Amino acid sequence: MLLRYKKSKKFHQKGDCKMIAHRGLSGIKRENTVAAFDLAGEHSYFGIETDVHVTSDNKYVIIHDSLTSRVSATSYLVEKTPLDTLRKVKLYAKSKEGGEKETRIPTLEEYVLSLKEHGKVGVLEMKNHFEEQEVWDMCAEIEKLGYMDHIIFISFYLENLVALRKKYPLQPAQYLTLHYNKNVLKTLIEHKLDIDVNFRALRPKSVREMHENGIKVNCWTVDWRPVARWLVKMGVDYITTNILE
């Protein structure tokens, strides 16, 4: 559950660690909306994370869950619903001044345009399983917007990242995982992937081991300064957060 705040929480001890706004500045604005992306863009975050789904008519929309029910009064299954229907869904707003930017499901294009406007790196999670062509079509859309060089792709589905690697072998990509072990390390090395891991799975030894293999370490989701300080001391490269800045 995402907490509600009135302003970001300053974290001044991040050193070289880069902060990633989780689903935009979701501690203040409705997650995964243009309002949340724009607000994060106005702050010092290095990057803005979000989630992308494919609609029934092969369009790309920004929403976390497969169903719209948690964030609206509707209950559409995103993958079985056309874009026009999803665009009519009114999301629950977190703030009174958000307007349409906080109550409408964004398209992939709107997310990328917000990144471009604010000069931020995108951290784009491919939700669920994508077909290879869906991965490539999504990348082509980002390329048309001239922003592929500023996107890090992430996914819990290894096959999504393998599909990405076939056409974009040098594209920054992070394997999302709850755990870290030798098998995960082997997978990262084999597919030339970085990691985005639940912060609770990390220890100084594991961070050191990944760095020795040229792997960058992102971790999620950290909203507490003492935990962030502990992770920075370990040497993580990125911290994904709802509210720390």
For the chain, give the mean pLDDT: 96
In tens, the pLDDT along 46-74 reads 999 999 999 999 999 999 999 999 999 99
Is 78:57 a contact under the CB 8 Å cutoff? Answer: no
**pLDDT for the residue 234:** 98
In tens, the pLDDT along 10-45 reads 897 889 999 999 999 999 999 999 999 999 999 999
CA–CA separation, 59 and 68 (whole Å): 16
**CATH numbers and ranges of domains, the chain:** 18-241 (3.20.20.190)
Place of tokens 């020795």: 212
Give residue 3's pLDDT band: very low, low, confident or very high (50, 70, 90). Answer: low
The torsion angles phi and psi of 49, rounded to 5 degrees, stand at -90, 150
In tens, the pLDDT along 74-113 reads 999 999 999 999 999 999 999 877 789 999 999 999 999 9
Is 57:83 a contact under the CB 8 Å cutoff? Answer: yes
**pLDDT for the residue 4:** 61
User: Pairing relation of β-strands 18-21 and 47-54?
Assistant: parallel
Is 139:111 a contact under the CB 8 Å cutoff? Answer: no
Lowest mean pLDDT among 37-46, 95-104, 174-183, 231-240: 95-104
The torsion angles phi and psi of 81, rounded to 5 degrees, stand at -125, 135
CA–CA separation, 68 and 91 (whole Å): 9
Of the candidates 81, 77, 71, 23, the one whose C-alpha atom is nearest the C-alpha of residue 47 is 23
The torsion angles phi and psi of 122, rounded to 5 degrees, stand at -95, 140
